[in-house]
C-alpha cells in the first residue's frame, strides 16, 4: 500500500501553549508514530517573517517549537522534521508557482482581506496600509511547502482551509500548463480536536493574551490556572460543568472515568479553589516528564540542530531531484 503523505507547518512566532498542544501538537505527534503514514512536519520560519520582524523572537521561537516537538516524543525516524529555510527548493518552487497563480486568486485570500477590511473601517487610510507582499502572496509559499513533497493530506485549523484550496488550484494550473507533476492536496480538519478556552473563557489564543504556555514551570502553571475565570458560586453550591473552562480543560487531559467522577463532584458543589487544584495536578502530572526533557533540550541546542539537519537531509533527498524535474518542465536547464 502506498503510504499517504501528511504535511503540516508551524509558524515560528511565539511559544507553544496548552491550546496548541491539545488542538494540533498532540494529534500530530500521535500521527508521527503511525507506520501507515509518511508525515512531514516543519518549522515555517519564512512564514514567520510575514508578521514578525524581530530576529531574536523568530530565533527563540524556532528553538522553543523544535524543543517542544522533540520533548513530546515526535518520532523523527518515521516523520521528517525540518526547518523550511533548510530546504531552499521550497523558495524556488514558490517563484515558479507565483508565475502561474493569478493575482485575482490572491485578492480573495482571507488573511489579506481581513487586514484590508480593518484598514477600510478606519476612514481615510490606505486600504493596503501595513500589508507587505509576504502577507499578500503567503498562500503561494504555503502551496510550495505542500507541493514540493506532493503531500496528500494537510491537517490544519479551519482558518487554513482556504489556503489548501488555493494550493490545489495552483497545482492544477501548473499541471495544466506543464504536465502532471503535482498531487492535489486535501485539507484535514479534525472536528473532534478540542479547542481549549483561555484564562478569560474565550478561545485560547496569543492574540487574546489569555494563554497558558505549555511548559510553564510548575509554580507559574499553578498561578495561571488559579487565574482562570469562574462564576461566583460558593463552595457547596451545585455547579454546572457546561461552559466551564475548568471542566472543559480537565476533560482534555483526563480519562472518561475521571471526568465522570469530577462531574459528580460538580453536582456536590466542589469549591472552585479545589477544582483549580485538581486541574493543576492533572495537567502538571501529564506534562511534567516532557517538561523535564524540554528544559534539558533547550540547554542543548546542538542536539536539536542535529535532529533538524537530519530532517533537512531526508527532505532534500526528495525536494532536490523533484525541483530539477520541475525546472526542466518549465524550460530552465543547462544547455548541454
Ligand atoms: N500558515 C499555517 C498557519 O499559520 C502554517 C503553515 C505554513 C502551513 N505552511 C504550511 C500549514 C503548509 C500547513 C501546510 O497555521
| pLDDT recorded at residue 1 | 65
User: For 194-249, what is each residue's pLDDT tens digit?
Assistant: 789 999 999 999 889 999 999 999 999 999 999 999 999 999 999 999 989 999 99
pLDDT band at 163 (very low <50, low <70, confident <90, very high): very high
Give me the phi and psi of 250, to 5 degrees please: -55, -45
Do 4-194+301-330 and 215-296 come out as alike in CATH topology? no
DSSP secondary structure of 87-155: -HHHHHHHHHHHTTS-HHHHHT-HHHHHHHHHHHHSTTS-TTTT--HHHHTHHHHHHHHHHTTT-SEEE
Residue in the structure block whose three cell numbers are 507559574: 220
| pLDDT recorded at residue 123 | 73
pLDDT band at 294 (very low <50, low <70, confident <90, very high): very high
CB of 47 closer than 6 angstroms to any ligand 1 atom: yes
| CATH placement of domain 4-194+301-330 | 3.40.50.620
Least confident of 113-122, 141-150, 179-188: 113-122
| pLDDT recorded at residue 159 | 86
Name the residue with the closest Cα to ligand 1, atom 10: 9
Residue 159 CA: which ligand 1 atom is closest? 15
CB of 146 closer than 6 angstroms to any ligand 1 atom: yes
C-alpha dist (Å) from residue 170 to 50, 84, 128, 141, 185: 21, 20, 24, 11, 11
User: For 295-307, what is each residue's pLDDT tens digit?
Assistant: 999 999 999 999 9
Residues 6 or more apart whose CB falls under 8 angstroms from that of 150 comprise 5, 182, 183, 322
CB of 225 closer than 6 angstroms to any ligand 1 atom: no
Residues 6 or more apart whose CB falls under 8 angstroms from that of 180 comprise none
Residue 11 CA: which ligand 1 atom is closest? 5
Domain 215-296 architecture: Orthogonal Bundle (1.10)
| pLDDT recorded at residue 56 | 97
Residue in the structure block whose three cell numbers are 516543519: 42
- Cβ atoms 85, 46 nearer than 8 A: yes
| pLDDT recorded at residue 75 | 94
- Cβ atoms 224, 199 nearer than 8 A: yes
Domain ranges of the chain: 4-194+301-330, 215-296
Amino acid at each position: 500500500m502506498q503510504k499517504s503523505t501528511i504535511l503540516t507547518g508551524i509558524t515560528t512566532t511565539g511559544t507553544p501553549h496548552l491550546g496548541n498542544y491539545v488542538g494540533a501538537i498532540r494529534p500530530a505527534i500521535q500521527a508521527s508514530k503511525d507506520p501507515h503514514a509518511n508525515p512531514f512536519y516543519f518549522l515555517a520560519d519564512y512564514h514567520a517573517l510575514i508578521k514578525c520582524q524581530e530576529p531574536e523572537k523568530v530565533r527563540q521561537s524556532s528553538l522553543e517549537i523544535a524543543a517542544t516537538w522533540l520533548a513530546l516524543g515526535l518520532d523523527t525516524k518515521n516523520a521528517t522534521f525540518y526547518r523550511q529555510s533548510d530546504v531552499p527548493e521550497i523558495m524556488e518552487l514558490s517563484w515558479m508557482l507565483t508565475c502561474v497563480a493569478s493575482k485575482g486568486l490572491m485578492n480573495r485570500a482571507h488573511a489579506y482581506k481581513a487586514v484590508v477590511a480593518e484598514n477600510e473601517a478606519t476612514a481615510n487610510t490606505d486600504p493596503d496600509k501595513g500589508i507587505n507582499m509576504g502577507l499578500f502572496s503567503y498562500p503561494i509559499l504555503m502551496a510550495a511547502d505542500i507541493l514540493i513533497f506532493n503531500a496528500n493530506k494537510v491537517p490544519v485549523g479551519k482558518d487554513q482551509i482556504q489556503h489548501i484550496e488555493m494550493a490545489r488550484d495552483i497545482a492544477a494550473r501548473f499541471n495544466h500548463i506543464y504536465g502532471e507533476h503535482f498531487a492535489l492536496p486535501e485539507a484535514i480538519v479534525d472536528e473532534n480536536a478540542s479547542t481549549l478556552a483561555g484564562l478569560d473563557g474565550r478561545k485560547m489564543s496569543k492574540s487574546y493574551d489569555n494563554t497558558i504556555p505549555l511548559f510553564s514551570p510548575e509554580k507559574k502553571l499553578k498561578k495561571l490556572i488559579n487565574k482562570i475565570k469562574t462564576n461566583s458560586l460558593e463552595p457547596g453550591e451545585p455547579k454546572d460543568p457546561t461552559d466551564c473552562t475548568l471542566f472543559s480543560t480537565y476533560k482534555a487531559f483526563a480519562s472518561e472515568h475521571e471526568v465522570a467522577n469530577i462531574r459528580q463532584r460538580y453536582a456536590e458543589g466542589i469549591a472552585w479553589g479545589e477544582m483549580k487544584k485538581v486541574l493543576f495536578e492533572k495537567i502538571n502530572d501529564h506534562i511534567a516528564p516532557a517538561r523535564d526533557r524540554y528544559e534539558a533540550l533547550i540547554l542543548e541546542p546542538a542536539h536539536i540542530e542535529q535532529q533538524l539537519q537530519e530532517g533537512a537531509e531526508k527532505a532534500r533527498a526528495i525536494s532536490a531531484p523533484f525541483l530539477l524535474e520541475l525546472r526542466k518542465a518549465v524550460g530552465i536547464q543547462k544547455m548541454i
